Amino acid sequence: MHTLFTFLTFLKSRLFLLLLWAGLSATGVHAQQYTIAAQAGLFTPIDYGRFVSARLGFFTGLSFDYRFPGKLSFGSHYQFGTFSYAPNQGGQTGLPENSSVQVHLIYWTLQRHFSLGGDWNLAVGTGPGFFLARYPDERDGQTGLPVFSRDFSIPLLLNLSKPLGNFGTVGVKSGLFFTPFYAIGGFHFGPEIRFRF
């Protein structure tokens, strides 16, 4: 029995290495199709209804995309955004007049690329994602811990870009997020630089 177990372990490790090698070989052929991008810019509240007197904040982000042959690409994205608002006192004392909200967004998109002429490109995309928002100045009434919220979100993205030599693109990234309970927000707008691999 020990010999059979050792053989199966050996077979699994060889199969894993074979699949890993095949995957790397297949992606190596299309190495120019991978891109990594960095963005920064303005960020609005994630729910316009809840944060009535909110102020603009900022966001930073990273995107990893794979461009399929043709006009489609698949992307995975991470963004960190922050904005400020006047918290509802709701019986709590000692809350500041202005409070900051920290938002982490992770989402995946399928994007369609359109050529606009003059080397300009427009990418429109959407897909599933989720966010985690932390309200450090608001406390849970029972535990005393900072309040946070999380939810499923659907991004709608627009990227306008122009080639930057042979190694990447430079442009503008913008987008908006929708959540299941019809909350709209998280509009972001800012410059983006993208590098090809």
- What CA–CA distance (Å, rounded) separates 50 from 184? 10
What pLDDT was estimated at residue 63?
96
Give the 3-state secondary structure of residue 168: strand
Name the E strands within 68-98.
Answer: 72-85
State percent of the chain over pLDDT 70: 77
Q: Where do we find the tokens 């442009």?
A: 171
List domains and CATH numbers for the chain: 35-196 (2.40.160.20)
**Between 18 and 70, residue with greater pLDDT:** 70
State which amino acid sits at residue 61: G
| Rounded-to-integer distance, Cα 72 and Cα 112, Å | 5
Angle made by CA atoms 194, 195, 197, in degrees to the nearest 5: 145
In this prediction the pTM is 0.74
What are the tens digits of pLDDT across the range 114-162? 999 889 999 999 999 999 988 887 778 888 888 888 888 999 999 999 9
Largest CA distance in the chain: 70
pLDDT given for residue 6 in this prediction: 47
Residue 18 pLDDT greater than 70, yes or no:
no
Pairing of strands 129-139, 168-178: unpaired
